Amino acid sequence: MFKIRSSAFTVVEFAVAISILGASIITIVLLQFTINTSIAASSIHKMMDKTLAFKVFASSYDCIPGDCLDAESKVQSNVYMNGNGNGVINVYGTISEKNEVAFAEEHLTRSRLFRKTLSYQNVDYQKIDLQKLLQGGRIPSSYISTISSGKHFYNILGGFSQNNAAKSDVLNFTPISSKVLSIIDSKADDSKAETGEIQCYVEQYTVENDAIVLPKPAKNYEKDCVLSFNIRFNSESYTAKNDINS
C-alpha cells in the first residue's frame, strides 16, 4: 500500500508541475504578444506621422521632400542636399552623396514637420551615411525610410544592409522579423502581405534610371520581410513646377 500511495503522489506532483509549466508558457506567449502589439501600434503611429509630414511639406513648399530643388532656402537644409526636382526620390545608383532618400530625411527634419532626434555632428554631407540620418524603428535593428518607385511614394520599415563595412545601403534592405509587421498590417490594413496599402517584400529592390523598382510583394508573413506603407499622394503638379524652375 505504501508503494501505491507514493506512486500516486508522484503522479499528482507531475500533473501540478505540467499545469504550472503550461500556465507559464501561456503567460510568456501572451506577454510577448502584448509587447509586439505595443511595438506595432507605435510603428503605425510613426508611419502615420511621417506620411502626414510628407504631404504637408509638399503642400507647404511646392516640392517633394528629398527632391526639393531649393531646400537650403526653404528649410535651411545643407546646399549639398538639394534634390533635382524631377518629381521622384532618386537614388542615383551607388553615388551616395546624391542619394535623395537621405535628402528626404534631411528636408523633413529641417522643416520640423517630422520630429526625431538627430545629431549633425560628424555628418559629411558629401558622403552620406544613411545610418546617421534615417529614423530608427521600434522593432530592433529596424529603421524608417521614404522612397519612391516612379510616381508612387512609400514609407519603408526594414533593416539595414551594407555594400561594405563602412557604408549602409538603402537599396538592399535586410528583412526583419515578420511577427510585428503582420500585426501592423492587421491593425492598419487588410492583414494580407501582398495586397492593400501595406505590403511585405522579401526580395531586394533594384534600380533603373536612378529610381527604385519594387519587387513583387510576398504572399504571406511566414518569412521575414520589410514593410511598405503606400503614401497616397499626387506629385504631378509639383513635378511640373520643379521642371519649370530647373
**Whether 213 contacts 179, CB under 8 Å:** no
Question: Quick check: 144 and 50 in contact, CB under 8 A?
Answer: yes
Asked whether 160 and 141 are in contact (CB, 8 A), the reply is yes
pLDDT at 243: 39
Picking from 29, 21, 109, the residue whose alpha carbon sits closest to that of residue 65 is 109
Q: What is the pLDDT of residue 240?
A: 38
50: DSSP letter: H
Residue 92, pLDDT score: 67
Is the sign of the CA dihedral 116, 98, 163, 226 positive or negative? positive
At residue 192, the pLDDT reads 94
- Let me know if 47 is exposed, middle or buried by CB neighbors in 10 A (0-12, 13-18, 19+): buried
DSSP string, 143-195: EEEEEEETTEEEEEEEEEEEEETTEEEEEEEEPB-HHHHHHHHHHHS-S-TTS
204, 229 in Cβ contact below 8 A?
no
pLDDT averaged per 10 residues, the chain (length 246): 55 76 77 89 90 90 92 90 88 65 88 69 70 81 87 87 60 82 94 94 83 89 90 60 39
Q: How many CA atoms lie within 13 A of 6 on its CB side?
A: 3
Closest C-alpha to 210, from 130, 137, 147: 147
Q: Which residues, in sequence order, are bridge partners of residue 111?
A: none
Question: Residue 134 corresponds to which cell in the numbers above?
Answer: 534615417
Total domains in the fold of the chain: 1
In degrees to the nearest 10, what's the CA dihedral of 238, 59, 114, 175? -40
Q: What is the pLDDT of residue 182?
A: 94
Which residue range is the domain that position 68 belongs to?
2-245
Coil, helix or strand at residue 135? strand
**Beta carbons of 109 and 118 less than 8 angstroms apart:** yes
pLDDT value at residue 193:
95
Query: Residue 105: what pLDDT?
Result: 87
CA distances to 204, 213, 227 from 217, in Å: 11, 12, 10
130 three-class SS: helix
**Environment class of 24 (CB within 10 Å of its CB; exposed 0-12, middle 13-18, buried 19+):** exposed
Query: 3-class DSSP state for residue 181?
Result: helix
What DSSP state is assigned to residue 176? B
Predicted pLDDT at 189: 95
